């Protein structure tokens, strides 16, 4: 599975697309036919107030916690994301410190079924309070011009029959805040 390079001075990059999933059973069947099943993840992301981009603490059942910062345009299409991931030893302590100093913005709880297709992570997400979503993340190699990653995401977009009106232009945290 593609993971960030430890201690890299440059942020990692991926090309991603996120959409509402109108037929989870069909999406699951397509994933099972196309990709390697990497199992289910139970995740809770706490987003913090920041001046630029987004900052979240991801806590995952039976796995290490990670602080993730990322910058991505809010557009309803495939888009470039630049991110950094740092493993966290004391998630509760860090969450308390960041909440006190920055303020917690939103909490997103989700069940994620993860598949891997040609180095593209396919996420079938069920987000508490929001419903079903589909996400494609093509992790870019350091020297990539992103053409290959964009092509792979577009292939999946077409294969899954994602309609333009189902595309999302923001994060789950924004949707949670809108739903309040």
Read off the CATH number of the domain in which 32 is found: 2.40.320.10
| Residues 19, 12: Cα–Cα separation, whole Å | 22
DSSP characters for 21-70? -S-HHHHHHHHHHHSEEEEEEEEEEEEE--SSSEEEEEEETTS-EEEEEE
| Residues 53, 88: Cα–Cα separation, whole Å | 20
Q: Which secondary-structure segment (H or E) carries 32?
A: helix 24-34
Question: 180: which residues sit within 8 A by CB, 6+ positions away?
Answer: none
pLDDT of 10 reads: 80
Q: What is the pTM of this model?
A: 0.91
2 lies in some domain: no
Residues 103/48, Cβ–Cβ less than 8 Å: yes
Beta strands at 79-88 and 12-20: parallel, antiparallel or unpaired: antiparallel
137 lies in some domain: yes
Angle at 117 between CA 70 and CA 122, to 5 degrees: 45
How many domains is the chain partitioned into structurally? 1
**What domain range is 159 assigned to?**
13-179
Per-residue pLDDT of the chain (180 residues; tens, 9 = 90+): 444 445 556 899 999 999 999 999 999 999 999 999 999 999 999 999 999 999 999 999 999 999 999 999 998 999 999 999 999 999 999 999 999 999 999 999 999 999 999 999 999 999 999 999 999 999 999 899 999 999 999 999 999 999 999 999 999 999 999 998
Neighbours of 79 (CB within 10 A): 17
pLDDT of 3 reads: 45
| Residues 130, 142: Cα–Cα separation, whole Å | 34
DSSP characters for 107-149? EEEEEEEEEEETTEEEEEEEETTTEEEEEEEEEPPTT--SHHH
């Amino acid at each position: 599975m593609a993971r960030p390079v430890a201690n890299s001075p440059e942020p990692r990059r991926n090309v991603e697309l996120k959409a509402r999933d109108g037929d989870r059973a069909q999406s699951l069947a397509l994933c099972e036919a196309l990709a390697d099943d990497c199992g289910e993840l139970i995740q809770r992301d706490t987003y913090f107030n920041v001046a630029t981009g987004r900052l979240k603490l991801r806590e995952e059942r039976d796995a290490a916690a990670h602080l993730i910062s990322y910058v991505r345009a809010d557009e309803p299409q495939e888009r470039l994301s630049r991110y950094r991931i740092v493993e966290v030893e004391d998630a509760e302590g860090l969450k308390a410190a960041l909440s006190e100093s920055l303020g917690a913005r939103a909490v997103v709880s989700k069940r994620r079924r993860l598949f891997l297709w040609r180095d593209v992570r396919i996420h079938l997400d069920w987000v508490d309070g929001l419903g079903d979503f589909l996400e494609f993340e093509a992790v870019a190699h350091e020297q990539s011009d992103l053409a290959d990653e964009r092509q792979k995401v577009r292939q999946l977009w077409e294969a899954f029959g994602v309609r333009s009106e189902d595309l999302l232009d923001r994060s789950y945290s924004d949707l949670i805040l809108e739903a309040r």
